[in-house]
Amino acid sequence: MPPPKTNLILGTAGHIDHGKTALVGALTGVDTDRLAEEKERGITIELGFARYAPAEGCAFGIVDVPGHEGFVRTMVAGATGMDVVLLVVAADEGVMPQTREHMAIVSMLGVGALVVAVTKTDLVDEEWLDLVREDVRDLLVGTSYEDAEVVPTSVHDPSSLESLSRALVRSGARARDRTAEDLFRLPVDRVFAVEGTGTVATGTLWSGRLARGEVVRILPGGGAGRVRDFLVHGVQVVVAVAGQGTALALKGVA
């Protein structure tokens, strides 16, 4: 197997309430639901972000996407640019409508690698779990992910999370290569003003690299701004590369 790659983009996919955000939280310790409405309703509405480094030399920027059918556009926005997809299927429900829809989107976008996590295994017996595994395998037939690893998990079982981590590292080794010479692209997820800093834009760097002091062009509209400062996964740096969650402080942008 080739060595793992750093700075990969790992995205979640799957039906609403199948445990995507809880699984990301168990792996990373980060609650990616930021909005009060998300916490009140118990669902993901906006894209959430976390950093995950399961092994030396392997680091993921995680994009947690909503599973509700009303937020498919948000899911597509998050899925574009992913290197690896973590498809989440709850053991107590199996494959559901948004599981199939998200799977179709992932296949259409040509994401390079996929791992399936069958969550909530503590709620079912082994016989039922086998049926869900078969259901998942049927879903993968005819796609480029027929050989994807299917990992039974529970957020209450540390050993299952370790098994999932190892599967993700293996999938990361199969992901396509990115180079710093690629065109710089950073889809903006949020824009806000910080007193004393100015305009801040956040997103996950899809391709290329960015250094402090460089000028970026904003599309659509054709505006431009100079990178005054930026953070990568909450840490101040001078250079960012593809796969990293980035917050840019921009000069000349209001």
pLDDT exceeds cutoff 70 at 42: no
Give pTM, 2 decimals.
0.73
Look at residues 14, 53, 17 and name the one whose alpha carbon lies nearest to residue 38. Answer: 17
**Domains recognised in the chain with CATH numbers:** 8-174 (3.40.50.300), 190-251 (2.40.30.10)
Average confidence (pLDDT) over 11-21: 87
Peptide bond into 187 cis (omega under 30): no
Q: pLDDT for 72-89, tens place per residue?
A: 555 555 555 678 899 999
Task: Between 123 and 193, name the one with better pLDDT.
Answer: 123
Task: Between 157 and 181, name the one with better pLDDT.
Answer: 157
pLDDT bucket at 43, cuts 50 / 70 / 90 = very low
Q: Which ranges of the chain does DSSP label H, i.e. alpha helix?
A: 20-28, 36-41, 72-79, 97-109, 126-140, 158-174
Task: Between 250 and 183, name the one with better pLDDT.
Answer: 250
Task: Tell me the torsion sign for CA atoms 42, 48, 49, 52.
Answer: positive
What pLDDT sits at residue 34?
Answer: 45
Cβ neighbours of residue 144 under 8 Å, at least 6 residues apart? Answer: 107
Average confidence (pLDDT) over 221-241: 85
Q: Look up residue 236 and give its DSSP letter.
A: E
Name which of 5-14, 93-102, 155-164 the model is least confident about.
5-14
Percent of the chain with pLDDT over 70: 80
